[in-house]
A and B are shown apart, each in its own frame.
Chain A
Amino acid sequence: MATTMQLDVVSAEESLFSGAVQELIAPGSMGDLGIMPRHSQLITTLKAGELKYKTDDGEVSLFVAGGVMEVQPSMVTILADTAVRSEDLDEQTAKDAQKRAENALEGKDPEDLDYEAIKAELDAAKAQIEMIHRIGNTLR
């Protein structure tokens, strides 16, 4: 029996996962992070991307965009701004979101207040599409 840690993934709307995992890979804002049980305390902001974790039943992946991850030796808490189960990801919706964000960005001054927010939205949409493709490839 491998050592495990408690993982909780919550977004403002719902609780997506709560249970024991053997390891996880999270999209930290400074790069992806692999976390194993008894990791030292760590706290990081997250960027849009794929969150993978290994449970006794196999590997699961979620899409998260923005938020904070707190790591304690025996538990990991992910407070995501947005989180979507990979089976709920929809390429068309993501593409629409990307279009919208791109249109909104056009002709916008980078100094503008909204710029950062729209940019983040665009990145989230791109990361979602990328993840859909990756999952699609492994399935095929």
Chain B
Amino acid sequence: MAGLKEIRSQIGSIQNTKKITKAMEMVAASKMRRARERMDASRPYADKMRQVVSHMALGKLEYKHSFVKKRETVKRVGYIVISSDRGLCGGLNTNLFKKTFQDIADWKEQNVEVDIAVFGSKALSTFRRFGVVAEATGLGDKPGVSDMVGTIKVMLDAYEEGRIDRLFLVENEFVNSMTQTPRVTQMIPIVAAEMEEIEYHWDYIYEPESKEVIDVLMDRYIESLVYQGVVENIACEMSARMVAMKSATDNAGDMIDKLKLKYNKARQAAITQEISEIVSGAAAVA
């Protein structure tokens, strides 16, 4: 039987852990609220941007940006993986990486090489052995587009120069505060979001030149996609952490209850033993 003292110190240490997980849960909950607000605020822009760009992909435009043209042969593909900087957020990053590994394995089977750019130090440490070409870590809770531009540009340049033939974005999708699902989307070449009608036969009137306007738009489009992904991932991270910490707190509570029961039983056993010793001692004397 475990000694009373050991059980007591065990309870003490679990109680401390419980305090920490409880505090982390509350911090994550309040950060999640703010992260969700930011995510919701940036969503309309990204949605509208996607709409405009899918119009462009459908129209007959005089100037086809290289992001719209499909390349027939695929020799090398690029991935931008968005993860969190910190752990203790349940299976969020693990699920995302599993999905990415699957995709990479599929490409490797077709003899296609993979280049990876990462956001977040968790992805950096996981994908380091695959050869990370660009990274951005420690973006904090309030990332700015300017922190991401450099990393994005590396991949876009790689595409322009023909080093990669496709670019994918891997991110967590915020379904609700309990559910986050990993999602892989093809960023370039751009695929029309929804085919509303069969091909259009119109072109835009451009002001100023077509190339200038479209170049600006395309850069903004990719930036907004990645920015949206990063912001969404923060909301995912916070809610995943909140849920993970909540279950950790609950588990700690259960463990404490069980240990307390064990402690009480042990104490009762010790008392019973003492009494029986005294009684039998008295009987021997008498």
Contacts and interface: CB of A to CB of B under 8 A. Distances in A.
Interface of A: 8, 10-15, 18, 28-30, 33, 40-45, 68, 70, 72, 77, 79
B208 A79 contact: no
B213 A43 contact: yes
Give the bracket for the number of chain B residues in contact with chain A: 20 to 34
Contacts of B55: 70, 72
A31 to B, nearest CB: 8
Interface of B: 41-42, 44-45, 48-49, 51-52, 55-56, 59, 145, 202-208, 212-214, 216-217, 220, 224, 227
Given A28-B207, A29-B207, A29-B208, A12 B224 contact: yes
B207 A77 contact: no
B contact patch SS: helix
Contact of B217 (A8, A29, A43, A72): A43
Contact of B44 (A14, A30, A44, A70): A14
B213 A10 contact: no
Q: Identify which of A33, A40, A68 gathers the most chain B CB atoms within 10 Å of its CB.
A: A68
B44 A41 contact: no
A11 to B, nearest CB: 7
Contacts of B204: 41-43, 70
Contacts of A40: 202, 205
A68 B216 contact: yes
Contacts of B212: 45
A23 B42 CA distance: 26
Contacts of A44: 206-208, 213
Nearest to A78: B48
B164 to A, nearest CB: 26
A40 B204 CA distance: 8
14 contacts: A12-B224, A13-B41, A13-B42, A29-B207, A30-B207, A41-B59, A41-B203, A41-B205, A43-B56, A44-B206, A45-B207, A68-B52, A68-B216, A77-B51
A contact patch SS: strand
Given A68-B216, A70-B55, A77-B52, A43 B45 contact: no
A66 B48 CA distance: 16
Q: Identify which of A28, A30, A43, A79 gathers the most chain B CB atoms within 10 Å of its CB.
A: A43
A30 B203 contact: no
Given A10-B45, A72-B55, A77-B51, A45 B216 contact: yes
A28 B204 CA distance: 15
A68 B53 CA distance: 12
Nearest to B52: A70
A33 B44 CA distance: 24
B220 A68 contact: yes
Given A14-B44, A41-B202, A77-B51, 16 more contacts: A10-B48, A11-B45, A12-B145, A13-B42, A14-B41, A40-B202, A40-B205, A41-B59, A43-B56, A45-B207, A45-B213, A45-B216, A68-B217, A70-B55, A77-B48, A79-B48
Nearest to A46: B207
A43 B210 CA distance: 8
A5 to B, nearest CB: 15
A79 B41 CA distance: 14
